[in-house]
Structure 1
Amino acid sequence: MKRHLSALLSIIFLPLMAYETVSTEWQSKWSCGGKPIAMEDGALKVVVARGDQLILHPLDIKSGQSYVMCAKIQGAAGMDVFWFTENNTEGVWQNKAVNVTTDGNEQVLFMSFNFPKQIKTGSHSVFRINDGSGEIKIKSLSIKEKAMSGLFTNGDFNEGGAWWELKENTQIVDAGEYGMVLEQYCKEKATRAVAHSAPVDVKELKTYRISFNVRGIEGFGDKALTHYFRVYPLDSRNNPIIGTDKTYDCMGNWQVKRYEFQIPSRQFSVRFAVESIGPCKVQFDNFSLEEFERPKQAAEIILSQPYNYRDGVFASNPSSSITGSVSVNFDQASSALLTLADKDGQEIWSRRYSSYSKDLSFCVPAPAMGDISVLALTTFDQAMNVLTTVRKELHSYKPNNIEVTFRDDGVTLLNGKPFFMISHWWDTRRGDSAYDMDFLKEAGFNSVLLINRTPERFPELDLAQKHGMLGIVELWHDFTQGTPEEQAALKKKWSDLIRKYQNHPALFCYFGQDEPMWGGQQLEIMKDAYKVARDADPYHPLWLNEAPCGEVPGLHEYAAGTCDTYGVDIYPIGAPHGSLVEDRTMTAVGKHTDRCMDAVEANRPVWMILQAFAWAHIRANTQMLPADQVEGIVYPTYEENRFMAYNAIVHGATGIHYHYIGYSPYTPDYFWKSLRQVTLELQYMSPIFTSRTVYFPAMKCADRRIRFLTKRHEGRNYYLITNESPETVKAEFTSCPESHLNILLESDGIDVADGSFTMDIPAYGVKILADCKFPEAQVLFKPETYVPFSAPVPHNDVRYKNK
């Protein structure tokens, strides 16, 4: 806690939120050119004219100490008031000022200052009237020492609303066990709540990280149960620092939010705006600010995909060599040496790099089966003194019954064979998991996520195997609880479980903590949990899923050293979802896929989670209602589901997961039928999805609204074409090597003349083209095996129990 200035007789402090008045004890310390100064309802009141100065003297200010001052004033509309605090010792002036134009209402002013030079005489604070006249009231004045530069004053609200300017729709409330918090409530859409902090001292051109706790109160957000807000620094002109006024979101649980920004030139203090956008009820707590420098390693060994997966090669995905690159901070180092040694320490390869090296890549021989070798990267100064050494073990893993690895393009390999994940978030909650396995498999799904991170989930792999499905097991993700002995026992328990089941034929991969950056999880906890999984089982990847929030640097920080595959869940139908305020349409799926690719630097697989529910059908009071009884219900259509799947794929996703039909056991048949058609199409297209991408295809389309991917499968080109605009596009394609192209799920083909053709693509439409014969819809969608979602399940059907 920051302590209050204790030696000021002429200043009243704000130790409690309730203090809102000016004390009569120091009325005599004020002067205004002989004009009478009165006290009224705890406020200082005087009638002033242009040029008048209302002076408080003396102030006991210490040199080198940081202070923040707060004043609440009310003046006749249109008065130009210049408030400054200053000191003059032996002709050396030190001062700080703020300016305000009064509007007739109460206004809150803040001033942050530090007088570094020696102070021998008393300081004073002055309200000078530059223009206008009338009555002015000083309703409160306070000053406070700041423990150190750069920290929030009352960032935890233990002093209530002191040192904050609480504007519209904002108040301080008691949140029970969480203590006092700042709360912003806006009932209507697009209305705003605003609060401003006291000034915070900063250094120009430095980077800072702000962090705070936030939660939305359930029942007050939008259709997606989401609350939107912004927290951003204001410069000396009360404008947001460029690039900081971005929109973030939260839901019902407390989360830790943090982000970085740079201070502009000649900016030495900032205030923070806290702004929520209706409909919302948002609570904030524990604001803090620190100078931040993103760690830059002196040297790093970066393995290329797929060798960065568990740092080696596998029997089912063999390679005689391992490739990668080095990253060296040549601002510190003059040169670097990369060496490869066998397990006995015998050097077998080396390469030297310098700041002049244009090629920082390497290619080294892989170890023999079952062996390891060690890469060592050593940096030197100009005198060839060693600065740093980093090492990385390279493995050639012994064969395992089940090996899930990756190709160099991120395609999954299941025992060496290409595999495209089409998975679902466990069962449908209708009451019979075994039935649901068959139900999902018939619809083209090939895997299910076994959630709840309990040991009991591992035996459910037997159920998945029995029904021809693969299982994704959610792992425990926090081993820091309890005593060191309890932590070690918990790690051993989970390590033993993982080793016991690592050869299970139905085990596909592991699932880590869901949406960790959005929830504010500590990175070290995640890295520790990842190490438990990879040390116990090198043959199955760990998948990390994030919320569609945050910026790429933060996503990268969370993706590094915590997972083997990465992705984001994005659900844009029926309610705005995600932090991309500029795009809340279906094309946000592709944009978030791009952000995932950037977060992993296109060096790890990306699996995306897509929408299989209606926002209005996931609330506690609507889940057990038929869809036609739920107001405002919107499920994705067939066209929307199809576009979102292909939008993810053409932007680089190599697996698709759906969340979550089981929100309601009354999911309508029309939605299930349309989703099933999409997943059956994905199943049919999986061999094409997992074939090689043609990165420089002959066929071109100059229209930037068209995004397409060319795949080469069994000697043919397959064109996966999407229209990323909300309007029909007449797209012209050129340099097409085929003379005729068929269209999946359409009867008419396209004749190509001199390499060119034109095609109408509907808004957010998908066209799959190739010169082969595609199956007809009746064959692809298998109507003879279709089972409605509303059909009774054989056992424990909750829908009938509730009637």
Structure 2
Amino acid sequence: MDDILYGHGDGFLTQDGRRRFPIGFYEHPADDDALRDMAEAGVNLVRCGNTDSLDRAQAHGMMGWVPLALRSGATSEFQEHVRTLAEHPALAVWEGPDEVVWSFTAYSGLWKQDQLAVFPNKGEWWMQTPLAIQYSEEQAAEIMPNMREAIEFIRSIDPQNRQIWINEARDSDLKFVRQYIDCVDITGCDDYPIRAEGRPAIRLADSTDRWRQVGKGRPVWMVLQGFSWNDLDDGDTDITAFPTFAESRLMAYACITHGARGILYWGSSYLQSDGKEAFRKSLYALTSELAALQPFLTAPVERYATVQAIDDGRTDISIPASLRGVSITARRTGRDWLIVLVNEDEHAHMGVEVSGLDALNGTEFVELYGDEKTAVSDGSFVTRMRPFEVKLFATHRKWEAAQREGRDFAK
């Protein structure tokens, strides 16, 4: 592939000469106070569509990403739009069409008769009928060359060589995504698992793993749930089910321990159910927590730090439920350390050993936002973890965020 097309980015942002882990919202509040609240909660990236919205983001110390209609190619209108925005100092990332592969394969509007009505049956794509295959191949043959043309134009005129990101659906087709993946810098998906009928928050770990594989090692940004399904027109439910703070925290850190390099939230602009303000505060409590850890989140992973569960032989835990275990990421900045542990199982692990820390013997760790203290001995330390619990161990409490309101949100 021509090098001008190939994506080389690492997924992080640069602001004032410092690397930043993306903490983003699709919502761009029209009210200045609301935008300020978002910025003060550690959000550093918002969706922008023009220079005015980029100006607003910049005024609040944030950066912006701009969505582009890559699927139409490098039209004259497209070129003018890109040239208008390319010099703006707050522009951080170009975004391609959202869920582009999903849109011509498994999108529900393809079979709904009051929408596109391309397919006669629900699930036509998953049945791999001749019609679904033919339609998708025809669409890809038109869209993919246009996307490559548009990306080549962006890279030819962007003075900052900004990264290009495309977000997909969790289950977007591998074969079609691979037709454009080498042209982009950042991949990833959206995944919104919390519903009234089920709350499998830990599946975000699997979604992150999948998109690291789909992207062939490219940086992955994960788009998480900032809404309740009943607030959407097509939510197909009347029951409010916001993610609790603990669930939002579990989803974010499961993504991070599995290698995500950005966390964004979609759907907060649709909030209208009772409890919406309390839910928003819970999201801001989490983004504040992540923002306080910025130096760690952009640091290399210390891969020699490992974790294992040494359990007690209880017979009341079914084998299938005990297969995930505990995930870890260990980071350091200067002389400070952070170790993130995520219990991915629905039962407790009473013996969780973190090892590989021989150079830290005698070093004391505190649990951020908790009471536990421990010290490294013989290159390891031991803790216990409740079902689906997240624990952050750091060498100092200065890495805690001041924002605490919202951490008890449990609706």
**Above 0.5 in TM-score?**
yes
User: Which runs of structure 2 are paired with 1:614-633 in the superposition (5 Å)?
Assistant: 614-619=228-233, 631-633=238-240
User: Which runs of structure 2 are paired with 1:656-695 in the superposition (5 Å)?
Assistant: 656-666=263-273, 668-695=276-303
> What displacement does 1:720 show?
1.1
Q: Distance in 1 between matches of 2:398 and 2:404?
A: 15
The answer to which of 543-552 and 606-615 deviates more is 543-552
Q: Distance in 1 between matches of 2:332 and 2:193?
A: 31
User: Which runs of structure 2 are paired with 1:212-223 in the superposition (5 Å)?
Assistant: none
- Aligned pair in 2 of structure 1 residues 586, 459: CA closer, same or farther (>3 Å)? same
User: Which runs of structure 2 are paired with 1:711-726 in the superposition (5 Å)?
Assistant: 711-726=331-346
2:205 matches 1:612? no
> What displacement does 1:780 show?
2.1
User: Which runs of structure 2 are paired with 1:173-212 in the superposition (5 Å)?
Assistant: none
Q: Distance in 1 between matches of 2:228 and 2:186?
A: 27
Q: Secondary structure at the match of 2:64?
A: strand
> What displacement does 1:620 show?
6.8
Higher normalized helix content (fraction of residues) = 2
2:94 matches 1:493? no
User: Which runs of structure 2 are paired with 1:124-523 in the superposition (5 Å)?
Assistant: 309=7, 406-407=9-10, 410-414=11-15, 416-428=17-29, 432-450=30-48, 457-479=50-72, 491-520=75-104, 522=140, 523=144
What's the TM-score once normalised by structure 1's chain length?
0.41
8 A contact 1:735–1:755 mirrored in 2 = yes
Q: Distance in 2 between matches of 1:678 and 1:763?
A: 19
- Aligned pair in 2 of structure 1 residues 621, 540: CA closer, same or farther (>3 Å)? closer
Letter in 1 for 2:349: V
> What displacement does 1:541 show?
1.6
Q: Secondary structure at the match of 2:194?
A: coil
> What displacement does 1:681 show?
0.3
2:138 matches 1:537? no
8 A contact 1:553–1:599 mirrored in 2 = no
The answer to which of 607-616 and 548-557 deviates more is 548-557
Letter in 2 for 1:711: R
- Aligned pair in 2 of structure 1 residues 595, 433: CA closer, same or farther (>3 Å)? same
8 A contact 2:186–2:221 mirrored in 1 = yes
Q: Distance in 2 between matches of 1:775 and 1:654?
A: 19
2:380 matches 1:761? no
Q: Distance in 1 between matches of 2:2 and 2:62?
A: 37
User: Which runs of structure 2 are paired with 1:25-104 in the superposition (5 Å)?
Assistant: none
Q: Which runs of 5+ in 2 are unaligned?
A: 105-138, 311-323, 407-411
Q: Secondary structure at the match of 1:707?
A: strand
Size of the alignment, in residue pairs?
A: 350
Match of 1:104 in 2: none
> What displacement does 1:462 show?
1.5
- Given the alignment, which residue of 544, 547, 559 partners 2:169? 547
Letter in 2 for 1:748: E
Higher relative contact order (CA 8 A, sep 6+): 2
- Aligned pair in 2 of structure 1 residues 506, 722: CA closer, same or farther (>3 Å)? same
Letter in 1 for 2:147: M
8 A contact 1:552–1:595 mirrored in 2 = no
Q: Secondary structure at the match of 2:71?
A: coil
8 A contact 2:352–2:385 mirrored in 1 = no
8 A contact 2:45–2:64 mirrored in 1 = yes
Q: Secondary structure at the match of 2:94?
A: strand
> What displacement does 1:659 show?
0.5
Letter in 2 for 1:424: F
Q: Distance in 2 between matches of 1:552 and 1:774?
A: 43
Q: Distance in 2 between matches of 1:450 and 1:569?
A: 19
> What displacement does 1:668 show?
1.7
Q: Distance in 2 between matches of 1:674 and 1:426?
A: 16
Instruction: Please tell me whether Structure 1 or Structure 2 has the larger radius of gyration of its CA atoms.
Output: 1
Q: Distance in 1 between matches of 2:176 and 2:170?
A: 12
Match of 1:635 in 2: 242
8 A contact 1:533–1:542 mirrored in 2 = no
Q: Which runs of 5+ in 1 are unaligned?
A: 1-299, 311-405, 452-456, 481-489, 578-583, 623-629, 787-803
Q: Secondary structure at the match of 1:418?
A: strand
Letter in 2 for 1:646: Y
- Given the alignment, which residue of 194, 201, 210 partners 1:586? 201
8 A contact 1:512–1:544 mirrored in 2 = yes
Q: Distance in 1 between matches of 2:259 and 2:383?
A: 24
Letter in 2 for 1:725: D
The answer to which of 607-616 and 726-735 deviates more is 726-735
Q: Distance in 2 between matches of 1:530 and 1:569?
A: 22
8 A contact 2:24–2:46 mirrored in 1 = yes
Q: Distance in 2 between matches of 1:475 and 1:550?
A: 20
Q: Secondary structure at the match of 2:387?
A: coil
Q: Secondary structure at the match of 2:397?
A: coil
Q: Distance in 1 between matches of 2:173 and 2:75?
A: 32
Q: Distance in 2 between matches of 1:657 and 1:609?
A: 5
Match of 1:400 in 2: none
8 A contact 2:6–2:182 mirrored in 1 = no
> What displacement does 1:615 show?
0.7
> What displacement does 1:466 show?
1.9
8 A contact 1:512–1:543 mirrored in 2 = yes
8 A contact 2:366–2:374 mirrored in 1 = yes
- Given the alignment, which residue of 189, 194, 203 partners 1:573? 194
- Aligned pair in 2 of structure 1 residues 530, 415: CA closer, same or farther (>3 Å)? farther
Q: Secondary structure at the match of 1:692?
A: coil
Q: Secondary structure at the match of 2:75?
A: helix
Higher normalized strand content (fraction of residues) = 1
8 A contact 1:517–1:558 mirrored in 2 = no
8 A contact 2:202–2:251 mirrored in 1 = yes
Percent identity over the alignment?
A: 28
Match of 2:211 in 1: 596
Letter in 1 for 2:393: L
Q: Distance in 2 between matches of 1:466 and 1:718?
A: 32
Letter in 1 for 2:279: F
Match of 1:730 in 2: 350
Q: Secondary structure at the match of 2:70?
A: coil
Q: Secondary structure at the match of 1:459?
A: helix
The CA deviation string for residues 489-547 of structure 1, in whole angstroms up to 9 with x for no partner, is x7233323322332212111111100011112522232223223222315222210000
Backbone CA RMSD of aligned residues: 2.9
8 A contact 1:425–1:448 mirrored in 2 = yes
Q: Distance in 2 between matches of 1:512 and 1:621?
A: 25
8 A contact 1:708–1:721 mirrored in 2 = yes
> What displacement does 1:688 show?
0.7
8 A contact 1:618–1:663 mirrored in 2 = yes
Q: Distance in 1 between matches of 2:185 and 2:249?
A: 27
The CA deviation string for residues 6-48 of structure 1, in whole angstroms up to 9 with x for no partner, is xxxxxxxxxxxxxxxxxxxxxxxxxxxxxxxxxxxxxxxxxxx
Q: Secondary structure at the match of 1:564?
A: coil
Q: Distance in 2 between matches of 1:526 and 1:696?
A: 40
- Given the alignment, which residue of 393, 398, 402 partners 1:780? 402
